[in-house]
């Protein structure tokens, strides 16, 4: 059941991605409705897959990388649908849905037995969930940043093409960027704290300074500075967009580090 739903989800997200990318280049409002419909259907299938999996797995088993990435992708789509519902910014789908698809494909590529971390403590679930939620925030900030930079460039170079007409106002994207980080940062902070507590219980040390932990802390620090800069000295707009794009690269590297390490421990 879970596997079938998962495959259906992937198919639907794939179709939605194609449809949303086509929407990016064509002046067709009907296309946005089609894309949204496919995405929503995919989201339902995804929810069923996640629930079925949760019911099927034992609570004691540590969350796998597969599950974490799938959950990340599900959250991304949820956020997209929520923003879409409120602001009707279809073009956001053209950026978020592909990202969700990539994350889902990564999840599918990994055997679902690969655990995120060695089972250490019950708080691991909390750690993974919180970290992933924080990452969703940064992912949305990243998407908003990319869209901001594109729109900024189009406006500066005065190219009033289809993309220009579809992208939302700059200040909306900047707000989205800010909100995402403001929501994502505390979640990641909590994720890191719960992770540290788990580690303390398991290994007797909060931080063991291995590469992916160090990298995660660097990323956290980076976002901290970005957030601080925005709230105090006006690092907003274009600079904020650049910084969040760079920051998200750090997030991706951390994730890759985690996955590689977990994979290594299994094989």
Residues within the interface to another protein (CB under 8 A): 151, 155-156, 158, 160, 164, 167-172, 174-175, 233-239
Comparing CB distances to another protein, the nearer of 67 and 84 is 84
Comparing CB distances to another protein, the nearer of 87 and 203 is 87
At closest approach, how far in Å is the CB of 82 from another protein?
17
Comparing CB distances to another protein, the nearer of 172 and 222 is 172
At closest approach, how far in Å is the CB of 29 from another protein?
17
Comparing CB distances to another protein, the nearer of 122 and 239 is 239
R_g of the chain, CA atoms, integer Å: 19
| Cα 12 versus chain centre, distance | 18
Q: Report how far residue 96's alpha carbon sits from residue 14's, in angstroms, rounded to the nearest whole number.
A: 12
Q: Which of 196, 82, 98 is nearest to 139 (CA)?
A: 98
At closest approach, how far in Å is the CB of 178 from another protein?
12
Q: Report how far residue 115's alpha carbon sits from residue 124's, in angstroms, rounded to the nearest whole number.
A: 11
| Cα 19 versus chain centre, distance | 20
At closest approach, how far in Å is the CB of 238 from another protein?
5
Q: Report how far residue 19's alpha carbon sits from residue 151's, in angstroms, rounded to the nearest whole number.
A: 21
158-194 burial, b at 16+ Cβ within 10 Å, e below that, comes to: eeeeebeebbbebebbbebbbebbebbbebbbbbbeb
Comparing CB distances to another protein, the nearer of 175 and 200 is 175
Q: Report how far residue 260's alpha carbon sits from residue 211's, in angstroms, rounded to the nearest whole number.
A: 11
Comparing CB distances to another protein, the nearer of 51 and 246 is 246
At closest approach, how far in Å is the CB of 60 from another protein?
48
At closest approach, how far in Å is the CB of 230 from another protein?
9
């Amino acid at each position: 059941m879970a596997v079938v739903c998962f495959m259906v989800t992937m198919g639907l997200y794939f179709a939605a991605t194609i449809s949303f990318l086509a929407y990016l280049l064509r002046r067709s409002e009907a296309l946005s409705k089609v894309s949204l419909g496919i995405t929503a259907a995919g989201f339902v299938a995804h929810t069923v897959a996640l629930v079925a999996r949760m019911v099927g797995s034992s609570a004691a088993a540590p969350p796998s990388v597969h599950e974490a990435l799938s959950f990340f992708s599900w959250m991304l789509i949820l956020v997209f649908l929520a923003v879409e519902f409120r602001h009707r910014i279809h073009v956001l789908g053209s950026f978020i849905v592909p990202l969700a698809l990539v994350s889902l494909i990564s999840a599918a590529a990994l055997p679902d037995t690969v655990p995120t971390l060695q089972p250490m403590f019950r708080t691991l679930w909390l750690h993974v969930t919180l970290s992933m939620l924080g990452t969703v925030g940064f992912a949305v900030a990243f998407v908003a940043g990319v869209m901001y930079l594109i729109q900024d460039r189009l406006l500066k170079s005065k190219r009033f093409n289809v993309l220009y007409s579809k992208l939302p106002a700059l200040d909306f994207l900047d707000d989205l960027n800010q909100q995402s980080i403001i929501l994502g940062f505390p979640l990641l902070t909590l994720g890191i704290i719960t992770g540290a507590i788990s580690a303390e219980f398991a290994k007797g040390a909060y931080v063991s300074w291995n590469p992916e932990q160090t990298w995660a802390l660097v990323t956290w620090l980076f976002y901290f500075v970005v957030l601080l800069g925005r709230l105090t000295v006006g690092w907003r707009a274009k600079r904020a967009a650049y910084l969040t794009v760079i920051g998200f690269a750090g997030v991706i590297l951390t994730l890759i580090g985690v996955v590689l390490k977990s994979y290594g421990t299994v094989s």
